[in-house]
């Protein structure tokens, strides 16, 4: 028996044996994302590129969950891991069938290029919808849970996860191929790197993907600093370039002169798998002495180790038995619905919600996102066998008369074909006038908010110019609200949007809520469930008061450093009930906080209890406070529950200007509540945090 087939050996030992049998040309052929078959060794062709940001993407039918930023709004590690496990299960089921039919093409493999754990530092970034928000702690916890769900508990990986984009990548999209992100050591180690470190050390993520940009002058996909950082963390997986990022070395960053030099630079600096076409000339670069052949050997070994970990060279593994009928099954769609319900954030409610259908004869559903499937899915999406738009969900739940008007285009000035005049406002006003209550469905979708090259938003390459609705929708909102009818604004977007809804009775931020988002919305509108999502990003009043988009400094960015301009705070979100913290205790020996919470309202509800810590002494502490714990719980009316939070050593640490992390204080204040411990959160949520002073 060949050693590489011996399952008693470690995956790395098996991979080393297999690669030792390859010629240099064969080794290089395995470093492309579309790796070639080596028939003489029994190695089938394999395409490394697959996506599962919020369900299997671009590979046919699959369950579609809320977009990543919506999943983050659940503030729920257990549910996040369950979602990822479903994604891995469906990936295996689809892989089993694709392999059976000889399809080894793109999006058919088991190496999933998710999650995106970049920090959503600026709300203008169109790809921020792919992330878990602005908080390094929240991102680390949710990203770790997602990776564990994708990879399983072993010894065979269910799928292989990928932490991307390493590092300091969060726009602007239009210049990402030549942009040099200048980031000081404090911000690097306090904000941009912690989630990647957690996924490497705690989740044992199998791969890391580089970014398009440079970081402090070094291309992120060939950065000695970043590669050394991974080595210090003990990373044992493989490194993949972002797609066609290596080509940028000589065409956009201008750090090399030729394609051969770029390929050699990437390989020499640790890029094992090239997504793109740069490694097609790698053999020539090696033969010309631009890169050492032993680097190709090392990269091929790392890649083969991953394939062996996935069971690809074993006769059979348990995951081969996963049947196709799990794909888009009822159980998986039920989970998607639950996530949609838990993700939506109630930003405002003057008492109109929940609606009592017995007191209504008609509902007007208005807006360009009311009956839009694009408003459900965000970017990096799959095909669904069932979807429920906002309009369809309300129709399912309400037996009275439903009026509908699109009202306006998503962003164009006319609703009519061929550009003829016709804005739709008159019909919207008519519907509003004939309705007892109005559900105004506005926002964005991934055709104008997303990744550069994937959107029609040519003026900003997928980013946003401001934090408001497109002008045609602003006018629609103004006109409808001018009637002073009971109105609920529902915003579908992957980022912070100020809908200027001061005169609305209620505002729900629905994100891109997944295939059954309309059913989830209806369940919330009519009180079948209480909303419970929390904002994983700060909603600002306007972009004008924000730092420059190109500035990667954290000054006046995110809840930890915000000085002004906050519309709705990070961690904020209302329910239909009221939960208060009744008791808070600190165990100095175990470094644990005990929190007792009680539902003193009139409706059963989920609630997210949040823990924040403020360093009271160190000059290196964050300006405000930082999240250090969160737990979602369900509380019936009058019910009280006790929770225990373990304070990790990192909660007490600060980072200085040299990037050194250490404990610099003895005195801290720890807060527990259903939101941040700031004045605006207290005002909006109607309940204050409880605090305790901690000495270490």
Q: Catalytic residue numbers?
A: 242
> Quick one: DSSP state of residue 615?
E
In the chain the first and final C-alpha atoms are separated, in Å, by 59
Q: Which residues, in sequence order, are bridge partners of residue 593? A: 586, 645
Beta-ladder partners of 405: 366
DSSP state string for 10-23: -HHHHHHHHHHTS-
Give the residue from 301, 409, 345, 305 showing the smallest Cα distance to 607.
Answer: 345
- The candidate with the shortest Cα–Cα distance to 533, out of 505, 514, 554, 557, is 514
Please answer whether residues 371 and 391 qualify as being in contact, where contact means their C-beta atoms are separated by less than 8 angstroms. yes
Q: Which two tokens stand for residue 32?
A: 């492309």
Q: Pick from 527, 523, 381, 521: which is nearest to 451 by CA?
A: 381
Cβ(355)–Cβ(525) below 8 Å: yes
**615 vs 558: CA distance, rounded Å:** 18
Token pair in block for residue 557: 């960015």
Where in 562-688 does DSSP place strands (E)?
566-568, 579-587, 592-599, 605-615, 626-635, 640-646, 653-655, 661-663, 667-673
**Residues 387, 520: contact at Cβ < 8 Å?**
no
Q: What does the alpha-carbon distance between residue 20 and residue 5 come to, in Å, rounded to a whole number? A: 14
Q: What's the chain's Rg over C-alpha atoms? A: 26
* Lookup: tokens for 548: 């420059």
What single-letter DSSP state applies at residue 468?
A: B
For residues 242 and 211, is the Cβ–Cβ distance under 8 A? yes
What is the distance between the alpha carbons of residues 333 and 482, in angstroms, rounded to a whole number?
39
Helix-, strand-, coil-residue percentages of the chain, each rounded to 5 = 35, 20, 45
Instruction: Return the closest-CA partner of residue 167 out of 114, 109, 208.
Output: 208
| Spatial separation of the C-alpha atoms in residues 396 and 535, rounded to whole Å | 28
Residue 386 burial (CB < 10 Å; 0-12/13-18/19+)? middle
Measured CA to CA, the distance from residue 187 to residue 133 in angstroms comes to 16
Pair 494, 374: CB distance under 8 Å: no
Length of the chain: 696
CA torsion, ordered 549, 553, 556, 559, to nearest 10 deg: 100
Q: Are 560 and 626 in contact (CB under 8 A)?
A: yes
Spatial separation of the C-alpha atoms in residues 536 and 229, rounded to whole Å: 27
Paired strand residues for 635: 605
Contact, 48 vs 275, CB < 8 A? Answer: yes
Q: Which of 182, 220, 197 is nearest to 137 (CA)?
A: 197
Nearest to 649 by CA among 664, 631, 633: 664
Q: Is the peptide bond before 155 cis (omega within 30 degrees of 0)?
A: yes
- Give the list of residues 6+ apart from residue 270 with CB closer than 8 angstroms, or none: 222, 227, 230, 239, 299
The number of beta carbons lying within 10 Å of the beta carbon of residue 6 is 12
């Amino acid at each position: 028996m060949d050693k590489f087939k011996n399952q008693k050996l470690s995956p790395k030992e098996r991979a080393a044996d297999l690669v030792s049998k390859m010629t240099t040309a064969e080794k290089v052929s395995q470093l492309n994302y579309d790796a070639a078959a080596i028939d003489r060794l029994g190695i089938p062709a394999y395409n490394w590129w697959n996506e599962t940001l919020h369900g299997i993407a671009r590979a046919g039918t699959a369950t579609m969950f809320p977009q990543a930023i919506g999943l983050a709004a659940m503030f729920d590690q257990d549910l996040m891991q369950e979602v990822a496990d479903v994604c891995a299960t469906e990936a295996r089921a689809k892989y089993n069938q694709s392999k059976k039919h000889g399809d080894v093409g793109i999006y058919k493999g088991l190496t999933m290029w998710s999650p995106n754990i970049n920090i959503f530092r600026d709300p203008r970034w169109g790809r921020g919808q792919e992330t878990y928000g602005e908080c390094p702690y929240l991102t680390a916890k949710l990203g770790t849970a997602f990776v564990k769900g994708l990879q399983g508990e072993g010894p065979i990986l269910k799928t292989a996860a990928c932490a991307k984009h390493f590092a300091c990548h969060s726009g602007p999209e239009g210049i990402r191929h030549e942009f040099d992100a200048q980031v000081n050591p404090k911000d690097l180690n306090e904000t941009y790197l912690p989630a990647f470190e957690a996924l490497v050390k705690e989740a044992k993520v199998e791969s890391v993907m580089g970014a398009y940009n440079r970081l402090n002058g070094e291309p992120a996909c060939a950065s000695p600093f970043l590669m050394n950082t991974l080595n210090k963390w003990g990373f044992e997986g493989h490194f993949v370039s972002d797609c066609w990022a290596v080509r940028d070395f000589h065409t956009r960053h201008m750090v090399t002169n030729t394609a051969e030099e770029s390929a050699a630079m990437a390989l020499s600096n640790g890029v094992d798998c090239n997504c793109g076409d740069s490694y097609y000339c790698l053999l020539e670069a090696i033969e010309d002495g631009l890169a050492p052949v032993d680097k190709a050997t090392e990269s091929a070994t790392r890649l083969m180790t991953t394939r062996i970990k996935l069971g690809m060279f074993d006769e059979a593994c348990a995951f081969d038995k996963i049947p196709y009928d799990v794909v888009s099954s009822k159980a998986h769609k039920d989970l998607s619905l639950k996530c949609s319900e838990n993700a939506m954030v109630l930003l405002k409610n003057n008492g109109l919600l929940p609606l009592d259908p017995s007191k209504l004869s008609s509902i007007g559903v208005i807006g360009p996102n009311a009956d839009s499937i694009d408003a459900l899915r965000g970017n990096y999406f799959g095909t669904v066998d069932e979807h429920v738009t906002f309009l369809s969900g309300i129709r399912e739940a309400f037996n009275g008369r439903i009026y509908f008007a699109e009202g306006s285009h998503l962003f164009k000035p006319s609703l009519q074909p061929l550009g003829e005049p016709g804005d739709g406002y008159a019909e919207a006003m008519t519907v509003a006038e004939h309705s007892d209550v109005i559900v105004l469905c506005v926002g964005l979708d991934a055709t104008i908010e997303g990744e550069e090259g994937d959107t029609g938003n040519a003026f900003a390459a997928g980013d946003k110019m401001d934090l408001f609705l497109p002008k045609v929708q602003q006018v629609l909102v103004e006109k409808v609200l001018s009637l002073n009818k009971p109105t609920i604004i529902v915003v579908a977007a992957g980022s912070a949007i100020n809908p200027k809804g001061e005169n609305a009775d209620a505002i729900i931020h629905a994100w891109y809520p997944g295939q059954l988002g309309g059913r989830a919305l209806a369940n919330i509108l009519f009180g079948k469930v209480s909303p419970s999502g929390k904002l994983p990003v700060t909603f600002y009043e306007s972009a004008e008061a924000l730092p420059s988009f190109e500035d990667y400094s954290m000054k006046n960015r995110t809840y930890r450093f915000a000085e002004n301009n906050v519309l709705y705070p990070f961690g904020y979100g209302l329910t239909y009930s009221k939960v208060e913290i009744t008791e808070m205790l600190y165990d100095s020996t175990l470094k644990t906080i005990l929190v007792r919470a009680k539902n003193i309202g009139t409706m059963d509800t989920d609630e997210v209890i949040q823990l924040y810590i403020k360093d009271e002494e160190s000059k290196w502490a964050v300006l405000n406070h930082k999240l250090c714990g969160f737990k979602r719980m369900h509380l019936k009316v009058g019910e009280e529950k006790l929770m225990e939070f373990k304070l990790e050593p990192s909660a007490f640490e600060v980072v200085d200007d040299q990037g050194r992390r250490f404990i610099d204080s003895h005195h801290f204040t720890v807060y527990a509540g259903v939101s941040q411990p700031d004045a605006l959160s207290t005002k909006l949520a109607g309940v204050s945090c409880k605090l305790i002073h901690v000495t270490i």
